[in-house]
């Protein structure tokens, strides 16, 4: 191939200057199912880059719906090859003709390559200290050897029952990783509400590196025009495990023709196929008393305008209930983890929400009718809220500043 004539080669703009390097934050969100990890990482990245206009963030995620979300300025994401969890608890590649071992090896390579090129000042790992099937370990070793990046493990307020979590972390070598690699451990909640690490044999040194941030407030900025009011918002989060709750709500409206206000149902991107088609037929027969959409990337608008909320007990939905100060009925799943039930029962004890418990209340249409009717007079969470409950994003941005300052001091020594 002949050489390109010099006149045809791209010319650098003499007036341009290199972009000054700002702080770089890398988020790892393993996301084999659901939306929780990605949405949490997205909220954190947005807060950090808003607080520091020179900072940028990259989110590594396995979420199959990451592309449906808008990301804040100076925040981008890279999609890792997806995996699915089978009914027996094993994993498989979502779409590629590869074994789970091959898929995990590919993901591990992509993670390490991205970390090498992005060269983060801080790595924030969501929930899994070693990543999916240990895929994060090569990157943790590399960053630790380089000695530049500050490594942070971020945990939601509730993980699982202490005994179950202890066995899981032992199996995954997660406790050893938490002790060995991470400069700080952030818990996105308050210790006075729940300690997700109870039952884990964390050393005194690791406990001294823990920070209780408070819950992560959702953006209360400008929202769009809500649907016609009044309405109750029905959201099973990502929807993959929400069929029971949706069925219960539809059964309540079918059983009681006078049940009001109307319901706005967001299925979530993972509630699909024949199950959703059957729900759509039932919604149509309710003639406007229930309306439904599949996915809403800006669900904040629906929260802001709702009279109340019926939801499952995932972390992000709980943060939205608190942030938008909406009376809520939580219908927590109890399998494969008790995480949602633990969160909902503790929140009910504190007067923040009401829980519809399968054993205590019964998951029946009549119980759901009573719960929806009671929302109109149920106190908002703000009547029971405590100082620091929703300060998580502010706390995290302060910790990022402190970590970067510490990094600068070490570089200067």
Domains and CATH numbers, the chain: 24-217+391-412 (3.40.50.2000), 231-383 (3.40.50.2000)
Average pLDDT in the 294-307 region? 84
* pLDDT greater than 80 at residue 197: yes
Write down the pLDDT at residue 14. 44
Give me the pLDDT at residue 93, please: 85
Indicate the pLDDT class of residue 312, thresholds 50, 70 and 90.
very high
pTM for this prediction: 0.90
Average pLDDT over residues 191-201: 94
Does residue 11 surpass a pLDDT of 60?
Answer: no
Q: How confident is the model at residue 271 (pLDDT cuts 50, 70, 90)?
A: confident
Q: Any bridge partners for residue 129, and if so which?
A: none
Section 224-253 average pLDDT = 90
Q: Over 90: is that where the pLDDT of 6 sits? A: no
Instruction: Give residue 8's pLDDT.
Output: 52
pLDDT band at 127 (very low <50, low <70, confident <90, very high): very high
- Give mean pLDDT, residues 187-208: 96
So what's the pLDDT on residue 65?
A: 73
* Res. 320: pLDDT tops 90: yes
64-93 mean pLDDT: 82
Q: Give the residue with greater pLDDT, 220 vs 363.
A: 363
pLDDT above 70 for 120: yes
CA terminus-to-terminus distance, the chain? 51
Q: What is the pLDDT of residue 83?
A: 86
Q: Alpha helices, DSSP H only, in 98-242?
A: 100-118, 137-146, 162-172, 174-181, 204-208
Q: How confident is the model at residue 13 (pLDDT cuts 50, 70, 90)?
A: low
Average pLDDT, the chain: 90
Lowest mean pLDDT among 20-34, 128-142, 355-369, 373-387: 20-34
Q: What is the pLDDT of residue 298?
A: 72
Task: For residue 16, count CB atoms less than 10 angstroms from its CB and return exposed for 0-12, middle for 13-18, buried for 19 or more.
Answer: exposed
What share of the chain has pLDDT > 90, as a percent?
72
Q: Please tell me whether residue 279 adopts helix, strand or coil conformation.
A: helix
Q: Taking residues 256-264, report their average pLDDT.
A: 97
Strands (E), 302-401: 308-311, 328-330, 354-355
Spatial CB neighbours of 25, under 8 Å, sequence gap ≥ 6: 45, 48, 49, 55, 56, 57, 58, 120, 121, 122, 123, 124, 400
Q: How confident is the model at residue 142 (pLDDT cuts 50, 70, 90)?
A: very high
The stretch 44-70 carries a mean pLDDT of 89
What confidence score (pLDDT) does residue 39 get? 85
Q: Is the pLDDT of residue 7 over 50?
A: no
Cα 363–chain centre separation: 26
pLDDT for the residue numbered 17: 53
Please report which confidence band the pLDDT of residue 31 belongs to, taking 50, 70 and 90 as the band edges. low
Question: What number is the average pLDDT over the span 378-383?
Answer: 96
The pLDDT assigned to 63 comes to: 82
Here the tokens at position 178 are 């938490």
| β-bridge partners, 76 | 58
């Amino acid at each position: 191939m002949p050489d390109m004539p010099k006149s045809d080669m791209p010319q650098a703009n003499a007036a341009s200057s290199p972009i000054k390097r700002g702080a770089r934050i890398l988020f790892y969100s393993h996301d084999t199912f659901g939306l929780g990890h990605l949405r949490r990482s997205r909220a954190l990245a947005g807060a950090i880059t808003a607080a520091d206009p020179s900072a940028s963030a990259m989110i590594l995620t396995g979420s199959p719906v990451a592309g449906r979300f808008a990301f804040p300025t100076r925040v981008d994401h890279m999609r890792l090859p997806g995996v699915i969890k089978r009914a027996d608890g094993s994993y498989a590649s979502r779409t590629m003709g590869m074994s789970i071992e091959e898929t995990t090896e590919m993901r591990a390579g992509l993670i390490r390559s991205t970390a090498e090129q992005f060269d983060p000042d801080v790595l924030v790992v969501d929930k899994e200290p070693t990543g999916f099937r240990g895929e994060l370990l090569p990157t943790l070793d590399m960053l630790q050897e380089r000695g530049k990046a500050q490594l942070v493990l971020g945990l939601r307020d509730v993980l699982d029952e202490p005994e179950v979590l202890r066995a899981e972390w032992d199996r995954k070598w997660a406790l050893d990783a938490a002790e060995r690699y991470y400069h700080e451990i952030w818990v996105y909640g308050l210790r006075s509400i729940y300690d997700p690490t109870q039952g884990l044999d964390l050393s005194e040194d690791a406990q001294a590196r823990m920070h209780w941030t408070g819950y992560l407030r959702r953006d209360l900025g400008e929202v769009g025009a809500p649907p016609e009011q009044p309405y109750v918002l029905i959201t099973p989060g990502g929807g993959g495990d929400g069929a029971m709750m949706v069925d219960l709500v539809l059964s309540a409206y079918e059983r009681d023709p006078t049940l009001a206000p109307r319901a706005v149902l967001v299925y979530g991107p993972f509630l699909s196929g024949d199950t959703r088609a059957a729900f759509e037929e039932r919604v149509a027969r309710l003639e406007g008393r229930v309306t439904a959409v599949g996915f809403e990337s800006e669900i904040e608008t629906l929260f802001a305008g709702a009279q109340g909320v019926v939801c499952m007990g995932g972390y992000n939905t709980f943060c939205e209930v608190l942030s938008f100060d909406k009376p809520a009925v939580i219908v927590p799943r109890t399998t494969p983890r008790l995480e949602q039930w633990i969160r909902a029962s503790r929140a009910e004890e504190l007067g923040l929400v009401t829980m519809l418990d399968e054993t205590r209340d019964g998951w029946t249409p009549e119980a759901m009718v009573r719960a929806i009717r009671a929302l109109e007079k149920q106190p908002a969470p703000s009547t029971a809220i405590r100082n620091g409950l929703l300060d998580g994003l502010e706390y995290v941005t302060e910790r990022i500043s402190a970590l970067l300052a510490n990094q600068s001091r070490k570089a200067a020594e």
